Structures are given as structure tokens and as C-alpha cells.
Amino acid sequence: MKIVYSPRHRAHHARQEINRGELVPAHETPERAEAILSALQSAGVGLVVPPEDFGLDPILRVHDAGYVSFLQEAHVRWTASGRSGAAIPMAWPARDMPRVLRSTALDAQLGHYSFDIGTPITAGTWDAALASAHCALTAADIVRSGEPAAFALCRPPGHHAGHDYSGGYCYLNNAAIAAQHLRESGQERVAILDVDYHHGNGTQALFYNRADVFYASIHGDPASEYPYYLGHADETGRDAGAGHNLNLPLPVGSGWPEWSAALDTALDTIAAHAPQALIVSLGVDTFAGDPISKFRLETAHFPQIGQHLAALELPTVFLMEGGYAVAAIGRNVAGVLGGFQQPDRQ
């Protein structure tokens, strides 16, 4: 399958993040994408192609225009105010404060358009995020044109980003942008399967009241795991979207037996919704060696994920989300895609 990749991801490079109360080297690094690219090339997964330029229109079908403008300007404003490094939010409205943005202060806007401290805006963040979304759109078009699958090597990732907020290393919701694009180019029902360790709160929220995009996620139980405030099993959709959201939270420490049982449930439910296309939010932070996550999948399990997905026999857009064990990320992603392409060989 084709691999859609842009070197523009490198423009987004935060040096540090706050984790467990300490300033530590950032986990979401350019090396992640480079490691994936080289592993996919070594494994012969397919031709590497650049993203097409879709401009802003398909982004604005999903994201708020004020948020998109803010992302483009935030780092320039940060620097103009005499600060160095990345723009980082540090204040958010509490429940009894109005959520409408009245202040023109940069710090008010940083808080308004985000939900955590872990999503810094550097000089190149906007360029990288836009290229990442264009990779997802290009992969969607490749599949729409008749190829059975494509892989978008998205970086930064997207599934935590909502209509008008960043969070969890995510700025633009690549999966949602690709799903909306497929919807508007004629696919009546689209399913998104999110296998990243973390619940894709942004993707869920964007489609929660819609029946045309089904969202299913297998993730660390938000009772203890990020993003904490969304991803519980009783969130099943609202209004027209009732019954079109499936959360399968698993306890910390879950391994292949529990995880693959949840995958079977997700795939059965997706099949019952009879979508015309599948988008896979592919995070490999379910790996036992992941530095910030707590599932126990081993490298040998990733080809089996691909194999299970192939059994759905749906046009499939894979796009990259998380995975922070850089030494293993390439082989784990190559494993999923290889298992999908050659299910009989696994």
C-alpha cells in the first residue's frame, strides 16, 4: 500500500514536556516518524508518496475558523511578547467561568483553545499539522480512487484534537478530517477504529451526535488513564448519533487476550454498521515497552491486528496516531500493515 509522508513534520519539534510534574524530554518527536518511514521502506510495504495540497477547506469542515487562525498565529504572538521557546497554555476557565472568549490576551486564548499543557505550539507547528492533515486527506483519496488501503504517516497525531481545541500532542484531527472528506466525496457511512492506547476524545466528540460516522475505540480506562474525562463505556452517542459510538476501555496491564477480544467486539460492531470505508487511528502505544502507556502488547501481536482488520474487507485508510517506544515503533507499525497486506503469511 502507498505510504503518504511529508518531511514537513520535522518543523514541529517541542523539546520538553511536563510529565508527572516534571519537565522531561518530549515524547512526541520527529524521530518517531523517521523511524516509521525507514522501517516501512525496509519492509517493502509500498511506495512513499508526498501529500497533495488540499488547502484549508477540508480542515475548516471539521475545525473552528478562529481556532485554525489562532494555531497559525500563536507562536508569532508568543515571540512578539518577548518569550522564548514554545507557546504553552497555563490557565483554563473553571466550570463557573464563561467559556466564551472575551480576553484578547494570548494566555487566555492559549487556554481557550486547548485542554492540556502537553501540546506546545512551536514556530513550525502549524506547517507540520497542516501537512499531517494533508497526508490523511491524500491517503483517503488514494483509497477512494480504488486502492484497497493506504497509510498516512501523520505527525503530529490528531485524535485528541476537537472542534476548537488542541491536546494530547494533537492540533488537527486527521482522522476526522479524512472521515469528513470521505463523507463529502460520496461515502455514506464511514467507520473510525481507534486502536491507540489513549481514547480519541476529539474524534468521539466531533461525531458524537452523528449517525454517518461510527467511532469505536479500544483504550486504557479513563478511570485512571489520559484523557480521563472522556472514553467511558457508557458513552454511546447522542441524538442522531445514539448507538454510533463504542468505547471499549480496558484496565491498565491488559495484554493480547483482553485486547484482541475487544478488537473482535469492535470489528463485529463495525461490520454491523456496514460502512463503505474504514479509517484506522493507528497508535502503537499499546506496546509493552511504551514509556507512557500501560498495555502489554508485544511486537508479534501487531501483525495479528492487521490480519484481523483485513478480514473486514473494507477500503481502509490507516493513519498514524501515538507510539513512543522509538526503537520499536517502526517494526510495530510495519507489523500491522504487513499483517493487513499478507494476512495468510502471518
Choose which of 162, 303, 322, 330 interacts with ligand Q9C (CB under 6 A).
322
Pick one of Zn ion, ligand Q9C, none as the site partner of residue 156 (Cβ within 5 to 8 A by kind).
Answer: none
Bridge-partner residues for 287, per DSSP?
Answer: 297
CA–CA dist 294, 285 (Å, integer): 8
Q: Which three cell numbers stand for residue 239?
A: 441524538
Q: Cβ closer to Zn ion: 202 or 275?
A: 202
Residue list 243-302, contact with ligand Q9C (CB under 6 A): 283, 285, 292
Asked if 198 interacts with ligand Q9C (CB under 6 A), we say yes
Q: Which of 301, 299, 223, 229 is nearest to 263 (CA)?
A: 301
Those residues with Cβ within 8 angstroms of residue 344's Cβ, 6 or more apart along the chain or in another chain: none
For residue 214, give the 3-state DSSP assignment.
Answer: strand
Report the nearest approach of ligand Q9C to the CB of residue 21 (Å).
9
Asked if 226 interacts with ligand Q9C (CB under 6 A), we say yes
CA–CA dist 330, 45 (Å, integer): 12
Catalytic residue among 13, 159, 160, 301: 160
CA–CA dist 319, 208 (Å, integer): 20
Q: Cβ closer to ligand Q9C: 131 or 142?
A: 131
Site string for ligand Q9C, 9-28 (x = CB under 6 A): ----------xx--------
Strands (E), 56-210: 149-152, 190-194
Contact stretch for ligand Q9C (CB under 6 A) within 6-14, 140-148, 168-176, 206-214 = 168-176
Residue list 104-143, contact with ligand Q9C (CB under 6 A): 118
Asked if 157 interacts with ligand Q9C (CB under 6 A), we say yes
For residue 167, give the 3-state DSSP assignment.
Answer: strand
Q: Which three cell numbers stand for residue 69?
A: 487562525
160 catalytic per annotation: yes
- Residues annotated as part of the active site: 160
Instruction: Enumerate binding residues for ligand Q9C (CB under 6 A).
Output: 19-20, 118, 157, 160, 168-170, 196, 198, 226, 283, 285, 292, 321-322
